[in-house]
A and B are shown apart, each in its own frame.
Chain A
Amino acid sequence: MRPYIAVLIDSFWEAVSNRVLWALLIGWALVLGALVPFGYVSERSFQLVSSDIQERGPLLEKLARGLKGQGRASIQRVAERLETEFADRIRDYKADDVSGPRIRHSEIADALNYSLKSNSLYDADTFPTAAARPRLKPLLDLPAESRSEADNEELNRELIQLAFPLELSSPKGERLWIGYAGFKIGEPLIVSRRQIDEFVEPLVLFFIIKAGLGILVVFIAIVVTSPMIPDTFRTGSLHLLLSKPISRVLLFLAKFLGGCIFVLVNIAFVLIGLYFIAGVRFDIWNEGLLACIPLLLFVFVIFYSVSALVGLLWGNAIVSVVACLLLWLLCIAVGLLHGVMRQQLEIMPQLTRIQQFEDHIVSVSERGELQVWNDQYSVWQPGIERDGGNRMRTFGPFYDADSRSLVVKSFTRGPIGNFMSRSRKLDIIRLVADEQENTDTPEQVSSNEETSREVDAAGSPTVKSSKAIGESSVGSVSEAREKARWMSDPGPELPTQVFDVLEVGNEILAITRGGLFQLDRGRLKAIPESAKFLGLDLKNLWGLGTGFLKVSSEDYVLNENAYSAAVDGQSALVVYSSGKLDWLSLEEGKLVVLHTTELEADGTEAAILQANQEYVVVVRDHKPMLILSPDFQTTLHSIELPVEIRNLSWVPGTSQQLIAVTHSGELWELDCAQASFTKIEWPYSGQATVLNWSTDQKAWIGIEPNRAILFDFKSRKIEKELMPAASTFDMVYNWVVRPVYTINPKPAALDDSMAYLLSGDRTQNLGLVNTDLEAAQVEIDLWTPIVSNVIFVVIVLGIGCLYVQRKEF
């Protein structure tokens, strides 16, 4: 091997003597040097900043009313301590008055900060619950004159929060800035340290590596190394090399490896530098950065193999670079097309809920779309007209037996987990109308559109017709895919800032930032289509107002994202928010907090909960699964899970067994008593998306992408299978795009592997922030891109070797 080591060493020296390398290394050293002074600047602070103002309009309006002596006493007290000039500006403020003063978020924050200095904000009568609050109690126990300025600021901030729980985000007590050489840059960060660690850190590092190294360095490296092979195989030097007692193939490969050494030096220098800068300055010791060195080198190897082969064939470095660019463009194009189609055809159609209501098998897709199975055309037909973006969070469907209706509501998911919608009104689907529709002939359907819905003598909604679109109105499979099956009635309006909607016992509860609300089920009853009162359409009036009554206490406020679950078999629910876990019981129309506990966390973790009369199971991202006693007094088990859970449900008839669907599509059985977590072997392992028990032993299971089966766990047989017919897009994807993608090199797919190395997550969330563990997460396929890229490199280099061996130079 000595001669080939000589070629390697010589290539290394060739690289070292390359001026571009030195220019690069110096450039990187300067960049890294410039990055060194970056760091966090942290300080204890209760001052408000712009991003703390959650609801600008309502806040100003409440303050304005407070200045006039209206509204709650706590609001009036805060308003009285505002700076006079600011108070004068907002005195007549009305949220819906567009001609009113334009007041920026920062001005409001400044004005409230002014009141933080007040020594007289606290008053026991005005803030009756303050003394009972764990965070305020120690401060209030101190005599007023013993409180430091910082103590006073903290106390006032907490009191202001009590006055405006919905309008302001909760105080964190710490402000984080990005700093440069100790100086703060810009506004404080709106994310916590945990979120930086778990989200921003991998994202920022990934961006630096992807954009800085993955594209820039690899491209520069290709430009720099592209002449190495053509120069070696130039006649003047080649004949001398070939006269030596060495193998041509190994000479070519050794020269190729020499080019790789050049890039390895560069990448290692930058990544080791980044590793230490991130560690020393930000306390982020991410070994994934070091593991990215071979991965980035591999990305380079993919392109360099093409550069080497083209350089060998054409003997021209420029042609090599152009070929690499073309390959890059091809990979990007194929990768993008595959990625988009995969998301639309494999991920978004996944079923996240499936249940049978009367004769209808209804599901909700990952896209958030309510769908109903159309047996005639074997497709999932849209349940109602879509009203949202490409990704929605759908609450429900809940079945109301009295009115034979489905209640559902979809919100568009925002990038940071927030929900957006033009209207907060529930959608009510009258199944009885559909039934009626299906009995009509097509002629009747058209005439029915103008007929009215009637309420019978007993008050139950016997509807003659609605504008429902029944199966009979669908004439083709494509129409069945597009046309909504039902037309919904507008229902009561959900409260603002809703986190979840649950069916607890027989009640439908909305869990919101401002507390918990119960739906008045009477509002679900149908109203005659033509019922009018004083010339106003009653149907529209019926939808007015929230229809949700607050059932939690006034001071029960959920600040951060809240996660909840109904307690199995009881009129109770568990709620997890801001690290606090509550057990609330519905007693005489009011929710009472029976038990509460603080879980060790920073409170921003997404969670999945399940509870029954014996166990409470808490699954949080990046935390061990906890099994608690119902009174929260005992943590029965803490289990490090080998998988990431997507869906949890109690096995009917048992009180200690749960079935978990994982993000990798497997089914696992959790025994709360034994603390055992075992994988269930079954025919569709690796493809499950959701599980909903139908009876004691049968469950509807969603199978990727959008199939569904009714599986009997006892007989282990499939009772029913819903397999949607393939669309043209499905066929193009399955027969063209996927095969092309499979054989195409996938340098970009290695980004996922890189993201895994940096974050440690085998799955990737589709949103920016993971606020919903039930949402589909794309499992990172670590090995397929590596294997396919290795095959590509081996083939390309193999062609190069064959050419070198056979060529008569």
Chain B
Amino acid sequence: MTVNLAIDVQKLWKHYREGVFVRKSFAALQGIDLQVPRGEVFGLLGPNGAGKTTLIKILLGIVRGSGGKAFLLGDPAGSRTARRRIGYLPENLSFPPHHTAVRAMQFYGRLSQVPERVIKRRTGELLELVGLSGREKELVRKYSKGMRQRLGLAQAMLHEPELLILDEPTDGLDPVGRSQIRQLISRLKSEGRTVFLNSHILQEVELISDRVAILAQGQVRGVGTPAELTARFHGALASTVKLHLACEDPNALTELEPGYEAALVRMPDNTTQFSCRVESQAKVDQLVDDLRMRNVSILRLERNQVSLEEVFMSAVGSQDSSVSDNETANASLD
């Protein structure tokens, strides 16, 4: 356990057992290790059933781990001391129907043991921050899903927690709302708070996360910055180049085709599309040289960049075929 870690997960296991007469057991988490330093925005990625929600539940003390250890801000995960220092926005949050925004802030603030005067002061500030000022006295049951999500975020920030665990924070929000949430997370980061983000929207995670972990089948498949992950997966994801060429002699391209394992497509405007896989920049340079030596004009050259989504798909893709029948069961638990 390192004190300057916001989240420290060591060889964490979680087995679920089901059935009354015939007990079935499956591992939702398989001895994962995860460290999130303080002040970082950390994204957790993974398909349904990967164990993301189980991990969050263990961190919050909602379920108990079957093995290994987990610490939040130096305290055992789930302990009351740890819970006092975290803010949590659950997925599919619902508020009691009799709550207004103000009453909800008051209620959750009291549960977090925030002094009354602080609740009073911060309620106005936060509701304004999340764009709910002016509607704070309306019953929450009349709110849209997006508004409820913003209110959930506001209550998570009420007691100025050192660590925020946000489960699908932009779920139900329009693009403007998403952008606002992203700005909010950036602001929290600038205030030195740690944000642990669980989201399905990869681009969003890529945009705001300092580091990302990919979880699949209860195992951490990769941890790092988006760039590190891309680089790490680059080898596996050999990029493709696509060239639009113009040449007088069609045989010039035919000669090159076998060596580059290229695909040639004659276009209606008498140009040719030349596509092949390249492992490195040197290979691209050599291709350009070979084309120019044969007097082939290069009209356009496109090279596909490896995105986080591709990295993600690559990381979890290998499981798709092999993902056991546990998938369905895991999904339901997630």
Contact = CB atoms under 8 A, between A and B. Distances in A.
Interface in A196-248: 231, 234-237, 239-247
Contact of B110 (A3, A13, A18, A247): A3
A348 B60 CA distance: 64
Given A2-B110, A808-B62, A237 B98 contact: no
Contacts of B96: 10, 14, 231, 237
Nearest to B165: A243
Given A6-B111, A10-B96, A14-B96, A243 B103 contact: no
Contact of A245 (B80, B93, B107, B155): B80
Contacts of B81: 245
A17 interface: yes
B103 A13 contact: yes
B90 A240 contact: yes
B110 A243 contact: no
A14 B107 CA distance: 12
A2 B108 CA distance: 12
Contacts of A236: 90, 92-94
B62 A3 contact: no
A7 B107 CA distance: 8
B62 A239 contact: yes
B84 A237 contact: no
A237 B141 CA distance: 13
Contacts of A809: 62-63
Which of A3, A240, A247 has the largest count of B CB atoms less than 10 A from its CB? A240
B83 interface: yes
A287 to B, nearest CB: 35
B88 interface: yes
B145 to A, nearest CB: 11
Which of B97, B108, B165 has the largest count of A CB atoms less than 10 A from its CB? B108
Interface residues of A, number: 26
Nearest to A3: B111
A21 B142 CA distance: 21
B143 to A, nearest CB: 14
A231 B94 CA distance: 10
B10 interface: no
Contact of B86 (A3, A243, A808): A243
Which of A237, A245, A808 has the largest count of B CB atoms less than 10 A from its CB? A245
A3 B107 CA distance: 8
A243 B95 contact: no
B112 interface: yes
A394 B103 CA distance: 71
Interface string A768-809: 000000000000000000000000000000000000000011
B113 A2 contact: yes
B83 A243 contact: yes
B90 A245 contact: no
Interface in A1-38: 2-3, 5-7, 10, 13-14, 17-18
Which of B62, B112, B165 has the largest count of A CB atoms less than 10 A from its CB? B62
B178 interface: no
Contact of B112 (A14, A231, A244, A808): A244
A237 B63 contact: no
Interface string A507-521: 000000000000000
Contacts of A5: 110
B64 interface: yes
Contacts of B63: 808-809
Which of A3, A5, A244 has the largest count of B CB atoms less than 10 A from its CB? A244
Contacts of A234: 94
Interface in A436-479: none
Given A245-B84, A809-B63, A239 B90 contact: yes
B63 to A, nearest CB: 4
Contact of A240 (B61, B88, B103): B88
B325 to A, nearest CB: 22
A808 B51 CA distance: 15
A385 B108 CA distance: 77
Interface in B54-95: 57, 60-64, 80-81, 83-84, 86, 88, 90, 92-95
Contacts of B95: 237
B98 to A, nearest CB: 4
Contacts of A13: 98, 103
Contact of B107 (A10, A17, A235): A10
Contacts of B108: 240, 244
B92 A241 contact: no
A2 B113 CA distance: 7
B64 A240 contact: no
A236 B152 CA distance: 11
Interface of A: 2-3, 5-7, 10, 13-14, 17-18, 231, 234-237, 239-247, 808-809
15 contacts: A2-B110, A5-B110, A6-B107, A231-B96, A236-B90, A237-B94, A240-B93, A240-B155, A243-B86, A244-B83, A245-B84, A245-B112, A246-B111, A809-B62, A809-B63
Given A231-B96, A245-B81, 10 more contacts: A10-B96, A14-B96, A236-B90, A237-B96, A239-B88, A239-B90, A243-B83, A244-B108, A245-B113, A808-B64
Interface of B: 57, 60-64, 80-81, 83-84, 86, 88, 90, 92-98, 103, 107-108, 110-113, 152, 155, 165
When A and B form their complex, which 10 residue pairs have the shortest distance between CB atoms, in order from nearest?
A: A236-B94, A6-B110, A17-B98, A243-B88, A808-B63, A244-B111, A245-B84, A239-B90, A245-B83, A245-B80
